[in-house]
């Protein structure tokens, strides 16, 4: 740790370093120094194979926000003593330092529509404030992250070449999810349609990526590693997927899976208000497709991994990814019923 601290002009003996948060990807610490409190992260080089891409993306966004919306709050990386915002320590990894946002906390579960509304306004505001940014400057930090056609093709390949025993075990769920192919065709149509614009999207809009103050008012979005070019369905779709149900994708009792209409309405209202005229009429009309798209995508990704012997997500118990896929398949049915009721 000392070489990292030294890169920022801090002496290890003068710093208090403690683990921070429960993030699943990057390792994160709180660093108390004589100059103040900061957040130190080691970037997961396995997930983000080109950390410099993230660093470049954030630098471009920081410059744009400073020039066009200097009062807009985003925790961009802090420069080391040599001006770098990404520090590479051989055999240790890639590190960066972020400002600590005082008097804030994160929330893991969306308990009411007010929280959903507040978070959705934050993510909408994030994309809205970057409307004028030239999105072609950004490179994908995870290529094809929300590309449903690619995910479906991977699913089909796993159905043919995956573990034969697992293919037989999950045959019913395979047939069910193959029946959702119309969602893939709709995705293809959207990415070809000029009315669906590529924008700066966050791509990881779970509630824990918003900081809240003591009154549970949203302060800012965080975790910008997955910020890259994307389409309208990515951010609001993942909010529908992760906010609408009172239980997570880990729940094995499928009777607990439901879609809360008030939460969905709050997301939709807040996102429309936050994006305002930045959305095209086509995008506005198909906001609820976003939920179906992202839920379906996650279902086939979990099932693909199960068929491929859990090489991507791993498994904490036998059949874990099959349970996850089944969970999301039920959520998809529930969300489609909600959409039809509108």
- The CATH number of whichever domain residue 211 belongs to comes to 3.90.1200.10
Burial class (CB in 10 A: 0-12, 13-18, 19+), 204: buried
Count of structural domains, the chain: 2
Q: Does 72 share its domain with 162?
A: no
If asked whether residues 137 and 278 sit together in one domain, one would say yes
| pLDDT tens for the 342 residues of the chain, in order | 899 999 999 999 999 999 986 555 688 999 999 989 999 999 988 778 899 999 999 999 999 999 999 999 999 999 999 999 999 999 889 999 999 999 999 999 999 999 999 999 999 999 999 999 999 999 999 999 999 999 999 999 999 999 999 999 999 999 999 999 999 999 999 999 999 999 999 999 999 999 999 999 999 999 999 999 999 999 999 999 999 999 999 999 999 999 999 999 999 999 999 998 999 999 999 999 999 999 999 999 999 999 999 998 989 999 999 999 999 999 999 999 999 998
Domain boundary among 49, 71, 99: 99
Residue ending a domain, choose from 99, 127, 154: 99
334 and 272 fall within a common domain: yes
State the residue range of the domain holding 127: 113-341
Q: What angle do CA 2, 6, 7 make, to 5 degrees?
A: 120
Q: Are residues 92 and 176 in the same domain?
A: no
Does residue 106 lie in a domain region? Answer: no
Residues 195 and 314 placed together within one structural domain of the fold: yes
Q: Which domain-ending residue is among 99, 132, 153?
A: 99
CB 259 within 8 A of CB 241: no
Q: Residue 65 region, left (φ>0) first, then alpha (ψ -120 to 50), else beta? A: alpha
In a domain, 107, yes or no: no
Contact residues for 277 (Cβ-Cβ < 8 A; gap 6+)? none
Mark whether 219 and 128 lie in a shared domain: yes
Domain assignment of residue 108, yes or no: no
Q: Is 332 inside a domain boundary?
A: yes
- The reply to whether 17 and 149 lie within a common domain is no
Render the burial of 286-319: b for 16+ CB within 10 Å, e for the rest. Answer: bbbbbbbbbbbbbbbbbbbbbbbebeeeebeeeb
Beta 87-89 vs 93-99: how paired, if at all?
Answer: antiparallel
H runs (alpha helix) in the chain: 2-7, 51-68, 113-129, 148-161, 164-169, 171-178, 181-192, 232-243, 261-275, 281-285, 287-307, 320-341
């Amino acid at each position: 740790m000392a070489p990292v601290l030294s890169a920022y002009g801090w002496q290890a003996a003068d710093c208090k370093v403690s683990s921070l948060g429960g993030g699943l990807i990057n390792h994160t610490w709180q660093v108390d120094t004589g100059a103040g409190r900061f957040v130190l992260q080691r970037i997961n080089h396995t997930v983000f194979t080109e950390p410099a891409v993230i660093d470049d993306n954030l630098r471009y966004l920081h410059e744009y926000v400073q020039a066009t919306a200097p009062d807009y709050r985003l925790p961009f990386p802090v420069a080391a003593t040599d001006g770098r915002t990404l520090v590479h320590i051989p055999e240790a990894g890639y590190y960066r330092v972020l400002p600590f946002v005082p008097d804030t906390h994160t929330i893991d579960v969306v308990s009411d529509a007010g929280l959903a509304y507040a978070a959705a306004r934050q993510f909408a505001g994030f994309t809205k404030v970057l409307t004028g940014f030239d999105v072609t400057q950004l490179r994908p930090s995870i290529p094809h992250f929300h590309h449903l056609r690619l995910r479906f093709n991977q699913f089909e390949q796993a159905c043919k070449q995956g573990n034969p025993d697992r293919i037989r075990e999950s045959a019913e769920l395979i047939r069910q999810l193959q029946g959702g192919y119309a969602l893939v065709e709709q995705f293809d149509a959207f990415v070809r349609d000029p009315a669906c614009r590529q924008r700066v999207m966050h791509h990881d809009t779970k509630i824990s990526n918003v900081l809240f103050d003591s009154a549970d008012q949203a302060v800012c979005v965080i975790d910008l590693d997955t910020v890259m070019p994307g389409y309208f369905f990515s951010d609001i779709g993942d909010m529908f997927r992760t906010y609408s149900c009172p239980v997570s994708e880990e729940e094995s009792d499928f009777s607990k899976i439901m879609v809360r209409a008030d939460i969905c309405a709050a997301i939709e209202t807040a996102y429309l208000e936050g994006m305002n005229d930045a959305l095209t009429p086509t995008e506005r009309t198909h906001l609820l497709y976003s939920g179906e798209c992202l839920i379906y995508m996650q279902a086939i990704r979990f099932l693909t991994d199960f068929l491929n012997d859990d090489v991507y997500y791993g498994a904490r118990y036998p059949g874990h990814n099959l349970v996850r896929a089944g969970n999301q398949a039920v959520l998809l049915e529930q969300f489609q019923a909600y959409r039809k009721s509108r």
